[in-house]
């Protein structure tokens, strides 16, 4: 590493502070106000958001969070903290902080803690394997906004993504192999990535290309044929067309095509969260089984597994 004192900042999306309508409303308001996430005209979007979407959506989303909430808190925050702590244990002389683009712990709080430790060189690792303007770009914006308030700035290393990093691909491939050994090889392995509006990709966001790069690298590592896997996109919101094919519609259609046993992995999520635990492992399981599916397995995110911490260490140290 550089002779300058280095600090590490892990950044993920965020989560409500509690599984309540009030906390979810506060979180969604911050999240959905970000132009990186929703770039609709503010005169149209803000009244729609505050008068219709937040009042109606917050109680519904709170109920979903209540289903996945643990004694330790939100799964995303719990796993993110474990990642931070495990990485810090590997790098005892290097401060490691965690920030969420939306909610707590905030970017401002994390940067202040690093500043108090006299960090002169900052390595920022957004916890999104595949770059998107709506995730990695939003993390960049949040950090830049805080830096605008400061006179003294550190040297900054910003890791754009790691969609094809050999250790990332190896960790994903091994988790899939382990699942196949435990549960048997499925008729189809489904790679489900979080979606973005198709328009974002049309306007230059290379996110779908990065997802494809990850999928192809994992498929090559596993030696799968084209008929043994499929790639889809989940979690769409609103009426605008998003990246396709859609995960839920695909799973509903598969049993009629003779695909009765599936395993699903979500390589775009570095930690399990509402979108994997509730949406993929519960909702989409129900869609598939209701249409005649016989076996459905969700392969967990890498979370705080040793292989994942190895990867994070390699990314932030460049070794």
Query: Given the structure tokens 């805080």, which residue do they identify?
Result: 146
> Which DSSP string corresponds to 220-237?
HHHT--GGGEEEEEE---
Instruction: Report how far apart, in Å, the C-alpha atoms of 206 and of each of 201, 269, 299, 315 are.
Output: 6, 17, 26, 21
- For 205-229, the pLDDT digits (tens) are 999 999 999 999 999 999 999 999 9
Q: Is the pLDDT of residue 78 over 50?
A: yes
Domain topology for 166-299: Rossmann fold (3.40.50)
- For 137-191, the pLDDT digits (tens) are 999 999 999 999 988 899 999 999 999 999 999 999 999 999 999 999 999 999 9
Strands 96-103 and 155-158: unpaired
* Tokens representing residue 121 in the block: 């060189």
Q: Round to whole Å and give the CA distance between 174 and 216.
A: 15
* Dihedrals phi, psi of 134, to nearest 5 degrees: -80, -10
- For 234-287, the pLDDT digits (tens) are 999 888 999 999 999 999 999 999 999 999 999 999 999 999 999 999 999 999
Cis peptide before 105 (omega within 30 of 0): yes
Q: How does DSSP classify residue 51?
A: I
Mean pLDDT to the nearest integer, 25-31: 94
Provide CATH code, domain 6-162+306-317: 3.40.50.1400
209: nearest Cα among 126, 130, 270, 134:
130
* Dihedrals phi, psi of 229, to nearest 5 degrees: -145, 165
Q: Is the pLDDT of residue 125 over 60?
A: yes
> Where residue 1 falls among pLDDT bands split at 50, 70, 90?
very low
Q: Where in the chain are the domains?
A: 6-162+306-317, 166-299
SS3 for 120? coil
pTM: 0.95
Strands 261-265 and 295-299: parallel
Residues in the chain: 319
138: nearest Cα among 31, 236, 29, 8:
31
Q: Is the pLDDT of residue 2 over 80?
A: no
Mean pLDDT to the nearest integer, 289-313: 98
Chain CA centroid to CA 47, Å: 28
Q: Is the pLDDT of residue 25 over 80?
A: yes
275 is in an annotated binding site: yes
Instruction: Report how far apart, in Å, the C-alpha atoms of 227 and of each of 35, 223, 253, 259, 285 are.
Output: 39, 12, 16, 11, 21
Residue 239, CB half-sphere, CA atoms under 13 Å: how many?
A: 1
Mean pLDDT to the nearest integer, 112-117: 95
Q: Do domains 6-162+306-317 and 166-299 have the same CATH topology?
A: yes
Q: How does DSSP classify residue 121?
A: E
50 is in an annotated binding site: no
- Long-range pairs for 225-233: beta carbons < 8 A, 24 or more residues apart: 228/188, 228/189, 229/188, 229/189, 229/190, 229/191, 230/188, 230/189, 230/190, 230/191, 231/190, 231/191, 231/192, 231/193, 232/190, 232/191, 232/192, 232/193, 233/192, 233/193, 233/194, 233/195, 233/196
Average pLDDT, the chain: 96
């Amino acid at each position: 590493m550089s002779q300058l004192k280095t600090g590490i900042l892990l950044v993920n999306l965020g989560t409500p502070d509690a599984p309540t309508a009030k906390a979810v409303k506060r979180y969604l308001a911050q999240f959905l106000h970000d132009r990186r996430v929703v770039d609709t005209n503010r005169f149209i979007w803000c009244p729609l958001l505050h008068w219709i979407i937040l009042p109606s959506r917050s109680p519904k989303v709170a109920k979903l969070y209540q289903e996945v909430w643990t004694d330790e808190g939100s799964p995303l925050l719990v796993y993110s903290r474990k990642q931070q702590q495990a990485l810090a244990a590997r790098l005892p002389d290097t401060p490691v902080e965690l920030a969420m683009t939306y909610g707590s712990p905030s970017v401002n709080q994390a940067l202040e803690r690093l500043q108090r430790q006299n960090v002169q060189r900052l390595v920022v690792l957004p916890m999104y394997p595949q770059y998107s303007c709506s995730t990695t770009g939003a993390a960049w914006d949040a950090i830049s906004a805080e830096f605008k308030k400061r006179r003294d700035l550190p040297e900054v290393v910003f890791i754009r993504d790691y969609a094809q990093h050999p250790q990332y691909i190896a960790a994903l491939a091994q988790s899939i192999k382990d699942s196949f050994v435990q549960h048997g090889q499925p008729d189809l392995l489904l790679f489900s990535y979080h979606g973005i509006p198709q328009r974002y990709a049309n306007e230059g966001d290379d996110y779908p290309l990065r997802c494809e790069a990850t999928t192809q690298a994992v498929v090559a590592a596993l030696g799968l044929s084209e008929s043994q896997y499929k790639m889809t996109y989940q979690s769409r919101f609103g009426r605008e067309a998003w990246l396709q094919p859609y995960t839920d519609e695909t799973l509903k259609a598969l049993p009629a095509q003779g695909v009765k046993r599936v395993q699903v992995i979500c390589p775009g999520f570095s930690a399990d969260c509402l979108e994997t635990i509730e949406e993929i492992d519960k909702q989409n399981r129900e869609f598939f089984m209701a249409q005649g599916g016989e076996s459905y397995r969700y392969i967990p995110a890498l979370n705080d597994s040793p292989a994942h911490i190895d990867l994070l260490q390699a990314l932030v140290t460049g070794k």
